[in-house]
């Protein structure tokens, strides 16, 4: 398939949400798998709700996921760069607000060719008719009363409506849902230019898709009802109609539409909670797409294997536990050097200054924690005791550090003072100490762990001690020995 061109076209009214991110991902993979183009278009005709901050959030979310978009070239009005809202290294997305003159010219074309008309109905009149239609069990569609007006109505600024065909069927050969048929008789004459002179969504979408030479319109199925209306405009302008595909909804565990009550819905929130972009991409693609029984995919594998033929039409269920499992997998298998850079913001949130931090030591900490960390935030919380001079004992550590632990800590402190702090030396020294005391190594290790980390769960104690170093270890042991001696003095 040659010259594939697709677009992701969000409205800039908030963060990049899970549903939008999946739509963008499917478009990106479809384009990249066929050596095509993937564009970002900002649909900001609703100027009362659109913000530059939201544009930045959308661009930032896509960039974090690795969904780079292509530079759009056109002879039409150049896309506007929102003030301080688009990173200079990102291609400038197309913005509809810079193209109003183009849209109005297209409306004039439809008016001049008898395919649009002026509507003088007020909002109050339209609302009254809508309520009457609903009360009578009729669909609340515009009744077309202004369609054949022979003269303007003075004192009223009209809106412009598209004169939609009223006979026959509109058939969509949907790439996801298969054949979908709409009766033209149920399509009303939609407004394409408001009375204030601003163009409406369906008109702008068609004009932009044609101007951008979009070959495939792949979007959520909440847009399915817009498709027959847009096809009418394509045909009125004499434009080729692109192929359409509408992705199923993403539902929460209770089978209702995904929302905040199901947990985080914005991509950026998952980043802040310590999820990795590759885990999010891997999870999002599995919400409606599959390849045999494979669960784990690299981005390169996705580009090679992705096909619209394998996108399901049934709603996808969002499972946060599955996402967490994937994230743990990618943390466990991740490069410690890369993890170090990603972990730094989460360490900062724990109050740990990362400027000038020993990167080799940080990598050792990450290697020690990778096996048991599900998110970067969890890893940062678990790593905190490596970076502070004083630690707090959690409840489990307090229960561990009783009078029974005092002689263990004293003996361990004496033994550790004479050891070099390498994994093998520490292991040998503490094993021999346990034998001499007639205790299991786990008992000795657990007392030391509670004293030096403040927790009863950590990486292997020999790794912890090696990373902490002798000085910090002995100081922490001394502190707990002193505390226990004050509470439980040895006779």
List, by residue number, the catalytic residues.
260
The string over 31-62, giving b where at least 16 C-beta atoms fall within 10 Å of a residue's C-beta and e elsewhere, is bbbbebbbbbbbbbbeeeebebebbbbbbbbb
Token representation of residue 22: 């999946």
Q: Which residues contact 252 (CB under 8 A, 6 or more apart)?
A: 258, 259, 261, 262, 317, 318
439: exposed, middle or buried (C-beta count within 10 Å: 0-12, 13-18, 19+)? middle
- Cα separation, 57 vs 414, whole angstroms: 56
Token representation of residue 250: 């993403």
Helix locations, 136-276, DSSP H: 201-211, 226-237, 267-272
- Cα separation, 307 vs 285, whole angstroms: 11
Token representation of residue 203: 């008109």
Q: Which residues contact 441 (CB under 8 A, 6 or more apart)?
A: 430, 431, 434
- Cα separation, 17 vs 335, whole angstroms: 28
Q: Do 161 and 191 form a contact (C-beta atoms < 8 A)?
A: yes
Helix axes 423-437, 461-468, angle to 10 degrees: 120
| Type and span of the H or E element at 283 | helix 277-285
- Cα separation, 444 vs 434, whole angstroms: 6
- Cα separation, 382 vs 171, whole angstroms: 57
Token representation of residue 192: 């394409």
Tell me, letter by letter, the H, E, C secondary structure of 123-154: HHHHHHHHHHHHHCCCCCCCCCCCCCCCCCCC
- Cα separation, 227 vs 233, whole angstroms: 10
> Could you tell me which residues are beta bridge partners of residue 257?
251
Strands laid side by side in the 116-119 sheet: 116-119, 159-162, 191-193
């Amino acid at each position: 398939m040659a010259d594939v061109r697709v677009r992701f076209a969000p409205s800039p009214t908030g963060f990049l949400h899970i549903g939008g991110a999946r739509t963008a991902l499917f478009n990106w993979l479809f384009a990249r798998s066929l050596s095509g183009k993937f564009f970002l278009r900002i649909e900001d005709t609703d100027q009362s709700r659109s913000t530059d901050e939201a544009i930045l959030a959308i661009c930032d979310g896509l960039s974090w996921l690795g969904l780079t978009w292509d530079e759009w070239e056109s002879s039409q009005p150049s896309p506007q760069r929102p003030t301080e809202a688009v990173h200079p290294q990102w291609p400038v997305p197309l913005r509809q607000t810079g193209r109003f003159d183009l849209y109005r010219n297209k409306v004039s074309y439809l008016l001049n060719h008898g395919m649009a008309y002026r509507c003088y109905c007020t909002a109050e009149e339209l609302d009254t008719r809508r309520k009457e239609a609903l009360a009578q069990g009729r669909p609340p569609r515009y009744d077309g009363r202004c369609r054949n007006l022979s003269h303007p109505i003075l004192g009223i600024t009209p809106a412009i409506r598209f004169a939609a065909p009223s006979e026959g069927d509109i058939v969509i050969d949907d790439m996801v849902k298969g054949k979908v048929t709409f009766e033209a008789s149920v399509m009303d004459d939609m407004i394409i230019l408001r009375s204030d002179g601003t163009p409406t969504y369906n008109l702008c979408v068609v004009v932009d898709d044609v101007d951008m030479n979009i070959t495939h319109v792949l979007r959520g199925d909440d847009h399915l009802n817009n498709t027959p209306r847009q096809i009418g405009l394509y045909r009125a302008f004499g434009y080729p109609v692109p192929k359409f595909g509408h992705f199923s909804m993403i539902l929460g565990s209770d089978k209702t539409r995904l929302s905040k009550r199901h947990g985080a819905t914005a991509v950026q929130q998952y980043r802040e909670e310590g999820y990795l972009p590759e885990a999010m991409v891997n999870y999002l693609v599995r919400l409606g797409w599959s390849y045999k029984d494979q669960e784990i995919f690299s981005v390169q594998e996705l580009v090679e294997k992705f096909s619209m033929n394998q996108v399901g039409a049934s709603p996808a269920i969002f499972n946060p536990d599955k996402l967490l499992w994937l994230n743990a997998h990618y943390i466990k298998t991740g490069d410690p050097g890369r993890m170090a850079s990603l972990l730094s913001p989460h360490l900062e949130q724990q109050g740990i200054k990362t400027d000038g931090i020993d990167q080799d030591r940080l990598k050792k900490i990450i290697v020690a924690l990778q096996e048991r960390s599900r998110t970067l935030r969890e890893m940062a919380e678990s790593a905190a005791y490596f970076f502070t001079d004083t630690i707090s004992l959690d409840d489990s550590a307090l229960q561990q550090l009783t009078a029974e632990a005092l002689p263990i800590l004293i003996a361990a402190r004496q033994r550790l003072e004479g050891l070099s702090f390498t994994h093998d030396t520490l292991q040998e020294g503490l094993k021999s100490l346990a034998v001499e005391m007639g205790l299991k190594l786990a008992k000795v290790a657990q007392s030391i762990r509670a004293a030096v980390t403040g927790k009863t769960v950590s990486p292997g104690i020999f790794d912890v001690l090696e990373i902490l170093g002798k000085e910090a270890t002995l100081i922490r042991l001394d502190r707990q020995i002193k505390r226990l001696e004050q509470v439980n003095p040895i006779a």
